[in-house]
Amino acid sequence: MKKLKYGDKTAKQLDNYMKNYKIPKGKTRTGLVAPIKDLKRNHDEMKQMKLKTSDPFFHCKANYEAASRGKYGSFVADKLGVLKEIFDIEYNKFPIKDSVKDLRANIRGRAGAKAGKSLKATCPTHHSKYK
């Protein structure tokens, strides 16, 4: 039996999760509240799935979904993402390198949505694809 490398099991589970995934539209398609709900929903899903190394994927996915809602969505995702990472650094919740990786994943998600790429093409499921 082939031994999986670190993160491969998580990537397989995320690939399976993404097979039939459709971005929830919610009651409102635009505005300021909808992207906040996107970020919260993705955070909750990540916690519920309890997958090691899935953090960059869910950062990317949350920002992709929020930015897909238009300029307000991208703006809200950007500002809340930065505030969250400042909070994490300020209160030593995680190493700074983790916050930098999260911010890069956030940017990747927003850029993919803005460029019209698919979620799958924008947010890889394997953590090693995020630098």
Domain boundaries in the chain? 30-129
CATH class of the domain defined by 30-129: mainly alpha
pLDDT (tens digit per residue) in 18-60: 998 998 876 666 678 889 999 999 999 999 999 988 999 999 9
Retrieve residue 127's tokens. Answer: 């953590």
Predicted local confidence at residue 92, as pLDDT? 82
Predicted local confidence at residue 30, as pLDDT? 66
Give the pLDDT band (50/70/90) at residue 61: very high
pLDDT (tens digit per residue) in 73-98: 999 999 999 999 999 999 887 889 99
The string of DSSP letters for 103-117 reads HHHHHHHHHHHHTT-
Predicted local confidence at residue 36, as pLDDT? 92
Predicted local confidence at residue 64, as pLDDT? 97
* Beta-carbon-side half-sphere exposure of residue 91 (alpha carbons within 13 Å): 6
Q: Residue with structure tokens 């929020």?
A: 66
